Chains A and B, each alone.
Chain A
Amino acid sequence: MSSPLAIVTRTAGTNCDAETVRALELAGARVELIHIHQLLAEPQRLQEASMCVFPGGFSYGDDIAAGRVYGLELRDGMYTELSNFVAAGGLVLGICNGFQVLTESGILDPPAEATAAGSLHSAEGRQIALHANASNRFECRWIELEVADTACVWLEEGQRIPCPAAHAEGRFVVRDDSVLERLKTSRQVALRYVVPTEGDTYPANPNGAVDHIAGVCDPSGRALGLMPHPERNVLPWNHPQWTRRGAREEGEGLAFFRQMVHAAAPVSV
């Protein structure tokens, strides 16, 4: 059996493509790295893949807002193809800037009318956003993720993954409290920052995200976005305290990708 194919997209300002490709390959996937302009011109290439991954970076400089221009480009250019891909069993992952892009595109939390029509043409119905960090700064620090009771098809509740977060606009927020309730009910809250039970939750929650949410998935559980970077903790020497611990085979982030590749079935759209 040939290994499942992951398409990793990139555009001007994508900068975590190499380590994302490496993590997927170490996890057993075949990988094609494709410029988004090429994929937008030939969206049928998705049909050969079982995964489509949007890596981190600063797409188009994150000018105006993080992921804004890329998200709009994606929504206008291939919202239908991407939602069909997910509906047919394909897995979509957005890390950091990829999460911001997926959020902007509407694919992670599609308004009901978009799901019905299979297309989306306006941002106005969007109910989730990634806001500027409460500290008003880009911050790079290691955090710990814990998997929530989630619809995400490749994560196991309670699983913990230490990895770095590195962003300026990663504070997950919702339009109002009812949206948060809806996301919990539909098990779209996928990952939370592990925070101390007493005292300051910063910097364990590095950005002030509501309910300490670090990642959310779409209602099907096959499209996931998260701010932190599991692809940066796949080697035995990535963890900031590896010199304090015994010998290790790999970083905890590799399991995240292995589970994803394992869950990725061949897709026929």
Chain B
Amino acid sequence: MDTATATLPNAWRVEVFRRPSVDDPEANHLLGAVQELGVESLQGARVGHGYLLPPALSREAANQIATELLSDPVLDEFTLYAPEELPAPNSTARRVLVAKKAGVMDPVALTIARGLKRTGLGGSAADAHISTFTAYELMGELSDEDTALIARRALGNETIEDLLLDSEALPYGPPAEGSTHGRVEVPILEADDEALMKLSTEGCLSLNLVEMHAIQAHYREAEREPTACELETIAQTWSEHCKHKTFAGVIEMDGERIDNLLKTTIKRATDELDKPWCISVFHDNAGIIEFDPASGWDLCVKVETHNHPSAIDPYGGAGTGIGGVIRDILGVGLGAKPIANTDSFFVGPLDMPREDVPKGSMHPRRILRGVVAGVRDYGNRMGIPTVSGGVWVHPRYVGNPLVYAGTVGLIPRSCADKEVRPGDAILVVGGRTGRDGIHGATFSSAELTEDSDVVSSAAVQIGDAIAEKRVLDGLLRARDLGLYRAVTDCGAGGFSSAVGEMGEECGAEVDLETAPLKYAGLSPEEVWISEAQERMVFAVPPEKLEACRAVFEAEDCESAVIGTFTDTERLVLRWHGEVVADMEMSFLHDGTPKPTRKAEWSAPALQDPGLPMPSDAGAALLACLSHPDVASKEWIVRQYDHEVQGASVVKPFVGTRADGPSDAAVLRPLDTTNAGCAISCGANPRYGLLDPYRMALAVIDEALRNSVACGGDPEHTAILDNFSWGNCDKPDRLGALVLASRGCYDAAMAYSTPFISGKDSLNNEYRVGDETIAIPPTLLISALAKVQDVGNATTMDFKEPGNSIYLVGQTEAELGGSVHFDLNHPEGAGGTVPAPELETAPRAMRSLAGAISAGEVRACHDLSEGGLAVAAAESAFAGDLGAELDVSSVPLGELPEGYDADATRLFSESCTRWLVEVSPENEDAFRARFEQTPLTHIGRVTEAPRLIVRGTEHATLIDLSTDELRAAHQSGFQG
């Protein structure tokens, strides 16, 4: 582009670069990233941070702002350009400028505006528009194609950012005003099926024909056309994301009619178990369980997915994912204090050749780096430790990665319930409303296509963590002063869902023009369904309104009354006095037609390949340790502040060098009690592809055995279900969902472990050319357990030479979906998926928990991906000690043909098994606990740092140094 003719921004431009003598890690990092893209010609890079300041400032004022606020006197140098001044041409570098698109959230600009106001540096121009950009100066013989490739793949994301290549024409100013309007009626009364579906698709309503018919019938009865606002409200409220129509609908499978899968499996288990320590289950923003009755504090937990936004903008999608689930915790009961975050990611192969990545998708590495950075920047800024999670890799996540984020909170028992009374003010607190995140709820209920990144950019939200921190600080203070009666978060569907849910029983009136806006020009529908982040809605009694708003004001947190809860049982929306929607709450919430879906399932036709003893079992173990699901995630965990709040007892990494992966995180959240909580999870998409029922049993067992290994009380443990599935309108996907749900019921009943909350994301498919690819059935189970005394919490690192090592549990030839098969049968393999023996597994959990709480256990590590071999290796290198094991006496069930006994002992992933280190003085007591559970003494901890494993007839199967084991575990992708 010819820079001379382009429009230069009418703003003071400040560009801040590191001084040449100062090391610039950001530029060094960029060089590495570009090399990975295969561009060899980049010789050097500089990264500059740019700012556009109001043209009304004097040169002196602009210079002062650059000196005092925007640059560092030791590290930086800056250049100031006058409004519309062209930066001096740079003959040695190609410049690429990356700027947020107009209207995209820019937290730094907001901070600068506040800073200018607080310090007086901005003078009378402090209110004018400010924007930021990044200036990259790339050195070397770069072709136009290379520059464009670097810009798109390493510098910016065109969904939310403008990339300027060799152009200085930065955008400046608020977004152009849209064509706002008042009441608009949408003619549907006479529409035929084709017209109805056209309206649903083009309006991004994601409603099916049956639902469109129900709406049409409703308005025919009312003898009028619906308004645009009403249709949008129905679409949001009835979306799969909000209503869970699949789980709540009717399913026919194998001649059986299932009316409401959720109620007949997952919730049913909770109802039948009827635990007195379950305080609030399923109906609020999070589940609540009792924690410390003496002081009146309970624990709450919620896990959410944010899959589709993260596919398009990994950083923003994951950041707002964690931001959203934190708001769920702020919005449970009268609000809870977040004490821990969790995150789990499911992505495509990290070593996938670039040319194999489908069009319209990002490389799995870029996605993983982006989502990690998103969780890091949001969670760390909120001051909530991210303590637990995982990464799973499978080719079918390439076009549709999964991002799960969870939050645990502390809540006083007296704050567990909320109510809304007619006459209460509707107070919105926090961020302003903009056009961001329009149709997020309906978008998340649709399939991703090659063009999703183009057409859905409006669905992307960018977070501003500090705005949410202000809300948190104000909310907990207002709660403790008793200044409101109810609160909920603005999540999917924005105000429409928040106000609609809170007013469901009574009614609500909203004056949409009173909502604080980021910029002018929004239509009433946009205000109503915007998913702009960091907003909460409160029901405030009129007499407390002033005091409540003052609390938020003191936190520099904006609030506005946008309406009133009524006793009309109607939802009335006005726009500058004109009624733009007037509907019965009952139709909105109960009018959803119940579809009947067909379900079926048949196992994939894959042969069990059998398990011979590998020619080199040591090499097979090293391969397992470097499998992406097993290999160290330290590069991720270190980027999260897992120590903030000062409550960590068992950390994500433990052992002498802090490199042993913990089974669970343990926190001591209250100073008034030594009780704590353990947080763990379980998932396995490879199991899910082969056998969804056994997968559900296995991942529940995994979450529980992880928790028990660290000291969790299995009799005071709650679990959460998060299903990410393919399109459940297709019978095979739905069949797998039915089987997994039945597994959830059976396992929850067997372990006496209730579900207290859950969420589903059921349209995770993506189109590549003519083919539609569904993700593997992915059930993430999260467990939250009470630890009766954190002083007895246990870690997985071997502690002392001479101590005995026991294997708890029964080993079977269960290699289906295992890491060992995944590594050795890239073409796919069948085999039996691991599943716990439900009759005996709960007893094993209780026996082990008893031993741990009695202080009889020095180290405990659960056996999962990679089996006994991997668990022993991890415990050894974590403790910087060795182990001599003889597995020949490990009892086995019946072996199928082609299975070697010792190989099965080493690599089977059978459930409900742990490796336990016991010191001599506790052995008798420990052994006595396991009379009804298989317990095998398999060896001792040694001083010499080697893992030596012998098998039948004393054959040495594995003899490796802990350095070799550690190196394999750390050999994976490092970000």
Residues of A near B380 (CB, < 8 A) are: 58, 138, 166
The CA-CA distance from A113 to B69 in the complex, in Å, is 21
- Contact: A141 with B658, CB < 8 Å? yes
Residues of B near A174 (CB, < 8 A) are: 74
Q: Judge if B480 is at the interface, Cβ distance under 8 Å.
A: no
Annotate B56-79 by CB proximity to A: 1 below 8 A, 0 otherwise. Answer: 000000000001111011110000
Beta-carbon contacts under 8 Å, A170-208 to B: 173-175, 208
**Interface residues of A, CB < 8 Å — how many?**
65
The CA-CA distance from A58 to B23 in the complex, in Å, is 23
Q: Judge if B25 is at the interface, Cβ distance under 8 Å.
A: yes
Interface segment among B114-122, B197-205, B345-353, B491-499: the answer is B114-122
Which of B67, B111, B655, B794 makes the CB contact (< 8 A) with A69?
Answer: B111
- Contact: B668 with A58, CB < 8 Å? no
- Contact: A60 with B382, CB < 8 Å? no
- Contact: A132 with B469, CB < 8 Å? no
Q: Judge if A217 is at the interface, Cβ distance under 8 Å.
A: no
- Contact: A129 with B115, CB < 8 Å? no
Least CB separation from A20: chain B residue: B646
Q: Smallest Cβ distance from B614 to chain A, in angstroms?
A: 34
Which of A38, A137, A240 makes the CB contact (< 8 A) with B651?
Answer: A240
- Contact: B72 with A63, CB < 8 Å? no
Residues of B near A84 (CB, < 8 A) are: none
Annotate B465-483 by CB proximity to A: 1 below 8 A, 0 otherwise. Answer: 1100110010000000000
The CA-CA distance from A136 to B646 in the complex, in Å, is 25
- Contact: A76 with B645, CB < 8 Å? no
Q: Judge if B556 is at the interface, Cβ distance under 8 Å.
A: yes
With most chain B CB atoms within 10 A of its CB, the pick from A56, A138, A173, A208 is A138
Q: How many A-B residue pairs have CB under 8 A?
A: 184
Q: Judge if B954 is at the interface, Cβ distance under 8 Å.
A: no
The CA-CA distance from A14 to B644 in the complex, in Å, is 11
The CA-CA distance from A129 to B975 in the complex, in Å, is 28
- Contact: B70 with A72, CB < 8 Å? no
Residues of A near B115 (CB, < 8 A) are: 60, 64, 69, 72-73
Q: Judge if B41 is at the interface, Cβ distance under 8 Å.
A: no
Residues of A near B22 (CB, < 8 A) are: 131, 173
- Contact: B75 with A64, CB < 8 Å? no
Q: Judge if B793 is at the interface, Cβ distance under 8 Å.
A: yes
Interface segment among B144-152, B312-320, B633-641: the answer is B633-641
Q: Judge if A45 is at the interface, Cβ distance under 8 Å.
A: no
The CA-CA distance from A133 to B67 in the complex, in Å, is 23
Given contacts A132-B26, A164-B643, contact A72 B111 (CB under 8 A): no
Residues of A near B470 (CB, < 8 A) are: 12
**Interface residues of B, CB < 8 Å — how many?**
69
Residues of B near A19 (CB, < 8 A) are: 644-647
Residues of B near A244 (CB, < 8 A) are: 656, 795, 797, 799, 879
Annotate A113-127 by CB proximity to B: 1 below 8 A, 0 otherwise. Answer: 000000000111111
Interface segment among A86-94, A147-155, A226-234, A261-269: the answer is A226-234
- Contact: B67 with A129, CB < 8 Å? no
Given contacts A37-B556, A140-B638, contact A69 B793 (CB under 8 A): no
Given contacts A12-B556, A63-B108, A166-B644, contact A73 B119 (CB under 8 A): yes
Given contacts A12-B470, A141-B658, contact A64 B68 (CB under 8 A): no
Which of B23, B118, B654 makes the CB contact (< 8 A) with A240?
Answer: B654
- Contact: B649 with A237, CB < 8 Å? yes
Residues of A near B542 (CB, < 8 A) are: none
Beta-carbon contacts under 8 Å, B781-800 to A: 790-791, 793-795, 797, 799
10 smallest A-B Cβ distances: which pairs? A15-B383, A19-B646, A136-B25, A63-B111, A129-B74, A61-B466, A164-B643, A63-B108, A69-B115, A136-B29
Q: Which residues on A are within 8 Å of B, measured CB to CB? A: 10, 12-16, 18-19, 22-23, 35, 37-38, 56-58, 60-65, 68-69, 72-73, 76, 122-129, 131-142, 164, 166, 173-175, 208, 229, 231-232, 234-238, 240-241, 243-244
**Given A16-B383, A122-B68, A241-B656, 5 more contacts at CB 8 Å?**
A16-B644, A63-B466, A126-B72, A173-B75, A241-B655
Q: Which residues on B are within 8 Å of A, measured CB to CB? A: 22-23, 25-26, 28-29, 49, 67-70, 72-75, 107-108, 111-112, 114-115, 118-120, 376, 380-383, 464-466, 469-470, 473, 554-556, 637-651, 653-656, 658, 668, 671, 790-791, 793-795, 797, 799, 879, 975
27 contacts between A and B (CB under 8 A): A13-B466, A14-B383, A15-B382, A16-B644, A18-B646, A19-B646, A35-B554, A37-B556, A56-B644, A61-B108, A61-B381, A61-B464, A63-B107, A73-B115, A123-B68, A123-B72, A125-B73, A129-B73, A129-B74, A136-B28, A137-B639, A140-B638, A140-B639, A164-B643, A237-B793, A238-B646, A241-B656
